[in-house]
Chains A and B, each alone.
Chain A
Amino acid sequence: MWIEALIAVTMLGAFAAFLAPDKVAGKLAFALSLLPLAGSLWMYSTYEASGNALTGGTLAFEENFQWVVAGPYSLSWHVGLDGISMPLVVLTTVLTTLALLSSWTPIDERQSQFYGLMLFLEAGLLGVFSALDFFLWFVFWEMVLVPMYVLIGVWGGPRRKYAAIKMFVYTNIASLVMFIGFIALVFGLGDSVTSLDMPAVAQALRAGQLQGLGPFGPETLKVLAFFAMFVGFAVKVPVVPFHTWLPDAHVEAPTPVSVMLAGVLLKMGTYALLRFNFTMLPDVARDYAVLIAVFAVVSVIYGAMLALAQSDLKRIVAYSSVSSMGYVILGLVAYTMYGMGGATFQMVAHGLISGLMFMSVGVIYNTTHTRMVSDMSGMASKMPFTVAVFVAGAFGYMGLPLMAGFAAELFIFLGSFGAFAGSVWFTAIAMFGIVIVAGYLLFAMQRTLFGPFELETDYEVGRAPFHDVAPLVVLVLLVILLGVDPNIFFGMIQDAVSPLVPAAGGGH
């Protein structure tokens, strides 16, 4: 019952925050978010599972009840965690708590609604990472959208309405495309599955029981469904050319919402790609590896180039997400132990690092009220501590050894090098992306943080309050901790990924 308790506590917390008066809502929400945080850490410490959730592994905290029986199909409340979802659940609770703490300064209107929605968002995310029945999963998947839409639309920047609508329309249409793809597969399986249970569907698909649907034979159906789902999830990730909603959403969203968006929401896309596309239809992934790798590499390079061209600190961080998530796709398509494991690890690492970056940009913005690179210079002399954390985050992004990003990217490159025909070239080009990342981050830092202090703003610049900086410190520590000892998560990730690998005939 632990997963149910986790989601229920978060939901109740959301209602409590919603009903609380504005003055106490922030502190109440923060305090309440410690419950799911403690719960998820406890679950991590007692975690015992082996194998992959969709290929017949034993799961931790599994529950399975019947929900609706519909004709030949049944829906159930089926939740459980394996080595892929456990780290993401921990990531969600950690980042939510920190994001709530970092909201105290910037959020100054309609607070109870804001905090309620943030906790509601957390509940949805926990559901996405733990649900194992397709419909249940889809309910949570869509449930995340609604609070995000309002969070950006109400508390965002000047173009918030446009950004919120764009985010909502893009990702929702993508969900529908994905939905059609998946349902087509289920119907294509005919009588061999009797539920929308993800493990059952995955096993039937991997066993080659697809029969085809209407005019489409099994092979065509597989490919069509694969790409319907791929496009659906690629929008969420986002993969170039489906990424245009992301910078708008990021730039307009208030800092804590950006943290959730980059830190956790984008991972829904890669998590789903891993669970659906790469687990259920490994041979299609294998056949079209080159095409998918092209998407991945273009995202890496193009995202980095776009970041290089930005003059707004937050935009720089936003585009860098496109680039980092490209690595995840590259790791997945490699279809090797290290590739897929590294990709999963990168989801966590990028969640922490991008959260760190957005929060530090937010802290700088809170005091200076500007994010334009051209307006700032020499911030280090006025707010040394914040700047130090920012630099640490940037190093993490560049993949400095002993930080989480390094471990993740190293695994990905190790895994993708030589994984399929032409992968050497893709890996090499993607690795060059790191150089551009280092380039734009160092360039931006040199112009904004160092040199003589100059700032075109009417506000007094000084040290940030403790509750703004504390989450940054925690994140830096976590990034270093994961970099020094990747095995905190990598062991369980490996365990969950390894059953997937031989199916495609991959090695390493």
Chain B
Amino acid sequence: MAFQLPNWMALAPTLALGLTALVLLLVDSIDPDTTDRGLLAAIATVGSLASAGFAAWYLLAGTGDQPFTLYSEALVVDTMALFFAFVFASVTAMVTVASYDYLRDHAYQAEYYALVTLAATGMTLMAAANSLAVVFVSLELASLPSYALVAILKKNRGSVEAGLKYFLIGALSASVFAYGISLIYGVSGSLVLPEVASSVAQTELTGVLGIGVMMVLGGFAFKTASVPFHFWAPEAYEGAPAPISAFLSSASKAAGFAAAFRVMTVAFPVAAVAEGAAASVDWVLAVQILAVVTMTLGNFAAATQDTVKRMLAYSSVGHAGYALIGLAALTGNNDTFVLAGSMAHLLVYGFMNTGAFLFIALTEHWSIGRRFEDFNGLASQAPFACAAMTVFLFSLAGVPVGGGALSKWFLFAGAVGAGFWWLAAVGVINSALSLYYYSRVVKAMWIEEASGEFAIESRPAGLYAALVTAAVVTVLLLPGFGPVWEFATEAAAALVA
């Protein structure tokens, strides 16, 4: 007789991250002044790798085919939850490895790693949340550590200011989100997503429901750094320590999307909310507008930046716009494909965008300036890191050197297939524009002459390891896109089919 794991073990990816955070806090309370950053980074990395391992194992074993619901349906573990758990855990692992070097002279080591893993725990819960209450709680669990992490460079004014801005806007959008939930609860009498869905189809309070849906959407717009709640993002990403920027712009954003995908598709199915007899609000239309504005605004702003980190921050807003296509093109024609496109893109994005920010972390480690000109001729000093960065940037732009090309094209193809060729066209035009500012960095690194000497004294092993991992995975995701796509399709099918 085969040994049967208990049901709650389906949450292993989340539990692994949560336990890691507790272990880190334990280490910190035993030895508050520890400077053994190797130990702390190792614990955090092992924990997140274990979490990623669990997620990958469950995915391969097909655990998510039959969704597990736990705690009176408040949580659900299906392919989508596992898929995103894998993304968050891998990004967390890369970030913790890279932080080892970045935090060299930092005072709050254990707190830092504990906050990162706690935030990651919240993110995996967001992907598994099946009740609006859990969505809210896990969103806050992911957000609160993030506020602290952004501001963790206490002596750096930029960092503190960024943390404050992030926190204020976060608090505002959290209250908007909570108010939206309360309105929806008032209309439907339930917080569990499938039950909400069945009552919104018949409700007569369509006005109240509509306002509630829009407010919930606003909460997600904050977490995913989409217009109109995006303006914290460039500040926070720029002011935060670069590994945290990587963490926020890759994992945190993906978490927002994971929750948004589930809530919007399960609780407010398009047919019922936008088209049925009880039509209250055409949120798909709203998301279409958001997607177009987010892409365009993010890309145009990125094109006009002077510093590389800020450019990446705005381009990350642009990518939120691409990912929104997954919700914007849901009309029943091609839903699984479109949603799978968004999910696959978020996975690839998790690696390539993390990699790009980690490269920034490397340059900060070397005290190279932040402007484009400061990168001039860097390739002659650090060809390996620059080659990795080139892969990330071109992949982000959609040039087929990495998985980014495939995921982006599938996303656009999905939009065309659903009949939204104009949405795809806006995306393609934005991609073309994005190539301009991404290639500015490539040009600076490889083609421009170095204006001064770089003081590259060390080759930090942790940062390099994380960078190389991200680059190799990004490249391998091009030939190996098949399995990613299969899982993404399964994950999407669980929501909309």
Residues of chain B lying within 8 A (CB to CB) of residue A73? 413
Bound together, the chains give a CA A213 to CA B416 distance in angstroms of 9
Which residues on the B side are within 8 Å of A180 (C-beta)? 424-425, 428
Contact yes or no, A176 B447, CB < 8 A: no
Q: How far is the CB of B236 from chain A (nearest CB, A)?
A: 31
Q: How close is B348's CB to chain A, nearest CB, in angstroms?
A: 13
Per the bound structure, the CA–CA distance linking A55 and B484 in Å amounts to 33
A480 at the interface (CB under 8 A from B): no
A142 and B399 within 8 A (CB):
yes
CA distance A217 to B409 in the complex (A): 24
Please tell me if the beta carbons of B399 and A145 are within 8 angstroms of each other in the complex.
yes
Quick check: B400 and A165 within 8 Å, CB to CB?
A: no
How far does the alpha carbon of A69 sit from the alpha carbon of B487 in the complex, in Å? 11
In the complex, chain A residues whose CB is within 8 Å of the CB of B121: none
Q: Are B485 and A172 in contact (CB under 8 A)?
A: no
Complex contact A69–B482 (CB within 8 A) = yes
Binds B, one of A153-161, A235-243, A369-377, A393-401: A153-161
Please name the residue on chain B nearest to A216 by beta carbon: B421
Cβ of B443 < 8 Å from any Cβ of A? yes
Asked if residues A179 and B428 are in contact (CB atoms below 8 Å), the reply is yes
A150: chain B residues within 8 A (beta carbon) = 446-447
| Complex contacts, B147 vs chain A, CB 8 Å | none
Which residues of B (463-497) have their CB < 8 Å from a CB of A?
478-479, 481-482, 485-486, 489
Which residues of chain A are near B448, meaning CB under 8 Å?
Answer: 161
Closest Cβ of chain B: how far from A140's Cβ, in Å?
Answer: 8
Binds A, one of B15-23, B176-184, B322-330, B430-438: B430-438
A150 to B399, CA, bound (A): 15
Smallest Cβ-Cβ distance to A173: which chain B residue? B432
> Is B439 positioned at the interface, with any CB of A under 8 Å from its CB?
yes
Interface residues of A in 285-306 (CB under 8 A from B): none
- Docked-complex contact B400 and A143, CB < 8 angstroms: yes
Range, interface on chain A: 35 or more
Report the separation of the CA atoms of residues A143 and B481 in the bound assembly, to the nearest whole angstrom: 17
With a cutoff of 8 Å between Cβ atoms, the chain B residues found around residue A66 in the complex are: 482
Q: Nearest Cβ in chain B — how far from A169, in angstroms?
A: 7
Once the chains bind, are B421 and A213 in contact (CB under 8 Å)?
A: yes
**Roughly how many angstroms separate A113 CA and B383 CA in the complex, as a whole number?**
10
B82 in the interface (beta carbon within 8 A): no
B351-408 residues with Cβ-Cβ distance < 8 A to A are 380, 383, 390, 394, 399-401, 405-406
Nearest chain A CB to B218 CB, angstrom units:
31
Q: Are B399 and A70 in contact (CB under 8 A)?
A: no
**Distance of A245 from chain B, by nearest CB (Å):** 15
Q: Whose C-beta in chain A lies nearest to the C-beta of B436?
A: A169
* Chain A neighbourhood of B435, CB < 8 A: 168-169, 172
Does the CB pair B334–A71 fall under 8 Å?
Answer: yes
Report yes or no: A154 in contact with B417, Cβ–Cβ below 8 A.
no
Return A361 CB to nearest CB of chain B, in Å: 24
Question: Which of these, B383, B410, B429, B432, contacts A70 with CB under 8 Å?
Answer: B410
Residues of B within 8 A of A113 (CB): 383
A214-B334 contact given A69-B482, A70-B485, A139-B400, CB 8 Å threshold: no
Q: With A and B bound together, what is the CA distance between A180 and B409 in angstroms?
A: 10
Q: A357 to nearest B CB, angstroms?
A: 27
Taking CB atoms, residues of chain B closer than 8 Å to A169 are 435-436
- Interchain CA distance A459-B394 in the complex, whole Å: 42
- Beta-carbon contacts of A227-249 to B below 8 Å, as 1s and 0s? 00000000000000000000000
A146 and B406 contact, CB distance less than 8 A = no
Q: With A and B bound together, what is the CA distance between A164 and B448 in angstroms?
A: 12
Which single residue of chain B is at the shortest CB-CB distance from A154?
B447
Distance (whole angstroms) from the CB of A208 to the closest CB of chain B: 21
**Dominant secondary structure of chain A at its interface with chain B:** helix
A124-165 interface (Cβ within 8 A of B): 135, 138-139, 142-143, 145-146, 149-150, 153-154, 160-161, 164-165
Count of chain A to chain B residue pairs whose CB atoms are closer than 8 Å in the complex? 92
Q: Nearest chain A CB to B318's CB is how many angstroms away?
A: 16
Shortest distance between the CB of B343 and any CB in chain A (Å): 13
The smallest beta-carbon distance between A352 and chain B, in angstroms, is 30
> Quick one: closest B residue to A150, CB to CB?
B446
Q: Given A69-B482, A71-B337, A153–B489 Cβ distance below 8 Å?
A: no
Q: How many chain-B residues does the 8 Å CB contact rule pick out?
A: 43
Bound-complex Cα distance A145 to B446 (A): 15
The reply to whether the CB of A388 lies closer than 8 angstroms to some CB of chain B is no
**A73 CA to B481 CA in the complex, in Å?**
14
Q: What residues of chain B lie closer than 8 Å to A142, measured between beta carbons?
A: 399-401, 405
Check if B419 is an interface residue, CB within 8 A of chain A.
yes
Interface of B is mostly: helix
Q: Is the CB of A138 within 8 A of B400?
A: yes
Q: Which residues of B contact A164 (CB under 8 A)?
A: 443, 447
Interface: A435 (CB within 8 A): no
Q: What's the least CB distance linking A241 to chain B, in Å?
A: 20
Chain B residues contacting A154 (CB-CB under 8 Å) are 446-447
When the two chains form the complex, which single residue of A68, A173, A187 contacts B416, counting CB atoms closer than 8 Å?
A187
B336 within 8 Å of A (CB atoms): yes
- How far, in angstroms, from A378 to B428 measured CA to CA in the complex? 53
Q: Which residue of B lies closest to A145 (CB)?
A: B399
Asked, given contacts A71-B337, A184-B416, A187-B417, whether A165 binds B481 with beta carbons under 8 Å apart, the answer is no
Q: Give the chain B neighbours of A71 by CB distance below 8 A.
A: 334, 336-337, 340, 414, 417, 489
A41-71, CB < 8 A from B: 66-71
B482's contact among A67, A138, A161, by CB below 8 Å, is which?
Answer: A67
Contact A165 to B443, CB < 8 A, known contacts A68-B485, A69-B482, A214-B421 = yes
B488 to chain A, nearest CB (A): 9
- A344 to B464 alpha-carbon distance, docked (Å): 48
> A68 contacts B400, CB within 8 Å?
no
Q: Decide yes or no whether A488 CB sits under 8 A from chain B.
A: no
Bound state CA distance, A214 and B448, in angstroms?
A: 46
In the complex formed, the residue of B with least CB distance to A71 is B337
Which residues from chain A contact B486 at a C-beta distance below 8 Å? 69
Q: 0/1 per residue, B22-59, Cβ < 8 Å to A? A: 00000000000000000000000000000000000000
Query: B425, A146: Cβ atoms under 8 Å?
Result: no
- Residue A481 interfacial (CB < 8 Å): no
Is A183 part of the binding interface, using a Cβ–Cβ cutoff of 8 Å?
Answer: yes
Query: How many angstroms from the CA of A69 to the CA of B489 in the assembled complex?
Result: 10
* CB–CB A68/B428 < 8 A: no
Which one of A179, A183, A214 contacts B419 once the chains associate, using CB atoms below 8 Å? A214
Contacts of A146 in B (CB 8 A): 390, 394, 399, 401
Residues in A whose Cβ lies below 8 Å from that of B432: 172-173, 176
Q: Which residues between 433 and 466 of chain B lie within 8 Å of chain A, taking CB atoms? A: 435-436, 439, 442-443, 446-448
User: Which B residue sits closest to A152, measured CB to CB?
Assistant: B447
Assembly CA distance A142 to B406 (angstroms):
12
Q: Bound complex: CA of A243 vs CA of B419, how far in Å?
A: 34
Which A residues touch B405, using CB under 8 A?
139, 142
**Cβ distance A107 to chain B, nearest Cβ, rounded Å:** 16
The interface bits of chain A over 167-185 (1 if a CB of B lies within 8 angstroms of the residue's CB, else 0) are 0110011001001100110
Q: How far is the CB of A233 from chain B (nearest CB, A)?
A: 17
Most buried by A among B390, B399, B424: B399
CB B476 to nearest CB in A, in angstroms, measures: 13
Question: Which residue on chain B has the smallest CB distance to residue A73?
Answer: B413
| A342 CA to B380 CA, complexed, in Å | 46
Q: In the assembled complex, which residues on chain B have CB atoms less than 8 Å from the CB atom of A139?
A: 400, 405, 478
Query: Which 4 residue pairs are nearest across A and B when measured between Cβ atoms?
Result: A153-B447, A71-B337, A139-B400, A68-B482
Given contacts A154-B446, A179-B409, 12 further A-B contacts (CB under 8 A): A68-B481, A69-B486, A70-B340, A142-B399, A143-B401, A146-B401, A164-B447, A168-B435, A168-B439, A173-B432, A187-B421, A213-B421
Selected A-B contacts with CB under 8 Å, 20 pairs: A67-B482, A68-B481, A71-B489, A73-B413, A113-B383, A139-B405, A139-B478, A146-B394, A149-B439, A150-B447, A153-B447, A154-B447, A161-B447, A172-B399, A173-B432, A176-B431, A183-B413, A184-B416, A187-B413, A187-B417
A→B interface (CB under 8 Å): 66-73, 110, 113, 135, 138-139, 142-143, 145-146, 149-150, 153-154, 160-161, 164-165, 168-169, 172-173, 176, 179-180, 183-184, 187, 213-214
